[in-house]
Amino acid sequence: MKAKLVTLLGFITILSISFILFLESNTEKKIRIIENSIKQQDDSLLSNSYLFIKENASFNNKLLTRKTDLNYTIIDDINFTLQQCRDKIVTGFLPFNVFCEYILPPVIYQESFENWRLSCIKEFSFINPNSHDIFFVCDTVNKYLGKNFSFKNRGNEYKDKSWSDYQKGISGNCFDMTKVVLYPLRSLGYATTVDYILGWGNADGSHAWNVIYDVNEKKMVPFMGLQESTTYNPFILYDCKIDSTKSGYRYPAKVFRKTFSIDEKYKKIKHHFLPKKNILFKELNFKDVTSEYFNVADVILEVDKKYDGEVLFLCVYNRNKWVSVSAAICGKNSIKFENMNKGLLYILSDGTNTISEPFILSEYSEMKKLNPLINSHIEIEIRFLRSREEEYAQAWGDLNNLPNDIFQGIANDYYREKPVNGTKYQIYIYNQGWQFISESIAKNDRVIFSRIPGNCLYIIKCQEKTVGRPFTFKNNICKWW
């Protein structure tokens, strides 16, 4: 009986393998038919467009053989797209590589393949696809779609949503806002995509916005899906006209751009890092565009020789934890992170634990290490529990329940969050983890901590809950990071 069972299991295994091989060979056969058809058309733009899709179809080769219910294929999609853009490519208005990355892709994230181009062209036929006034085009699309949009701060559902899904009802977060406008704009021949950050470097949360290729400026310029485009700045929270020092900005360590092609550098790094997980490797279809927004610098750190050949991460502090924003492979006793934004707080991590002291990358590309000076004590006076940036950001999230002058009040300090008199607060320093140092009771709308080690990264807690962001203290000034 046992021998018969083993034989039966072996037979089932052989059938399973044979079925898989059949499917693979069937897919390859379909691809071969497609490619023979392309060769017969003798069209270099068609051939090169197909080759780009084939080389970067990260979902697997089945994307190349997908059809819609109306027998619409990837090749139909490529031909349709070229029909819209061929003249722009041939005359040099639209670089072919820009076309490939930001117009040609049949899908944007992981949604199902469908003929969204024809649907969008019909729905947005009132827009001139040859207009060079890109902000007018963006605003027209934004107003048309935005009238039916409702904001909902949810997770990664946008990655699976198709154009037909959005037509049933547009709702979601900033990633949905950026994705939904790509369909009509790309269908009309405008090279558009999403720039995004994994975590702010001086505030909590992440963000995404759009960029569109400006044929006049020959570069990608930012706007925001479903919002007014001409005045959009992805980093500003509040522009204080009277005193610019009280304006609020959120700054990222890295800005990534959504592409269809895979970042080969991070593909190599991910291969080294497997089987561990990290937010940087959730998807590899991106390029680093930080230098398009900021003056950047390379960060070179000395590391223990035990990390030679290992993958390490540069992190920022976000939502009470260290979040990876850049990865690199260690060389001999050192590691190099390229194109990092300046003026931010960083720390080195092995993907699980921090392995360096925090440091600040200055505007002059210098690294100021925050090593506790145990024998050098200072007095720290806290008048406000949060940075203006943090309070501006919180105000944007609750505008309906706040005074009309909330932003002016934050700028002028009368709506700032102050220590509550009679409440006990604790101060911690970062020393291979958060380390308790002292506690004090607030008086006269402030809390004072005495005999605190200098040159540290500090954080305040109240009833074991973190209050505000990490900060440094120098010359009686509290600087939040």
- Residue 245, C-beta contacts closer than 8 angstroms, at least 6 positions apart: none
* Domain segments of the chain as ranges: 35-106, 256-369, 373-480
Residue 338: CB atoms within 10 A of its CB come to 15
pLDDT-derived band of residue 21, with 50, 70 and 90 as boundaries? very low
Copy the structure tokens of residue 200: 């702010």
Distance CA 432, CA 181 (A): 45
Residues β-bridged to residue 335: 301
| Side-chain half-sphere CA neighbours of 435 within 13 A | 13
pLDDT of residue 6: 45
H helices of 96-133, in order, are: 96-102, 116-123
Distance CA 418, CA 435 (A): 23
Nearest to 97 by CA among 193, 197, 180: 193
CA dihedral 146, 148, 151, 152 (to 10 degrees): -140
Distance CA 426, CA 140 (A): 52
Copy the structure tokens of residue 427: 């101060």
What pTM did the predictor assign? 0.90
Distance CA 62, CA 79 (A): 19
Residues β-bridged to residue 208: 196
pLDDT tens digits for range 396-443: 988 889 999 999 999 999 999 999 999 999 999 999 999 999 999 999
Q: Which residue has the higher pLDDT, 39 or 423?
A: 423
pLDDT of residue 273: 87
- Is the Cβ–Cβ distance between 350 and 307 less than 8 Å? yes
In this structure, which long-range contacts are made by residues 325-328, counting pairs with CB atoms below 8 Å and at least 24 apart in sequence?
Answer: 325/198, 325/199, 325/201, 325/252, 325/253, 325/254, 325/280, 326/253, 326/254, 326/280, 327/266, 327/269, 327/273, 327/278, 327/280, 328/269
SS3 374: strand
Q: Is the pLDDT score of 454 beyond 90?
A: yes
Q: Is the pLDDT score of 16 beyond 90?
A: no
Nearest to 246 by CA among 413, 394, 399: 413
373-480 under CATH 2.60.40, yes or no: yes
From the number of C-beta atoms within 10 Å of its C-beta (0-12, 13-18, 19+), residue 14 rates as exposed
SS3 312: strand
- Residue 127, C-beta contacts closer than 8 angstroms, at least 6 positions apart: 137, 140, 141, 184, 188
- Is the Cβ–Cβ distance between 429 and 456 less than 8 Å? yes
Greatest extent of the chain over all pairs of C-alpha atoms, in Å: 89
pLDDT tens digits for range 171-211: 888 999 999 999 999 999 999 999 999 999 999 999 999 99
pLDDT of residue 10: 54
| Average pLDDT score over residue span 375-399 | 94
Q: Is the pLDDT score of 132 beyond 50?
A: yes
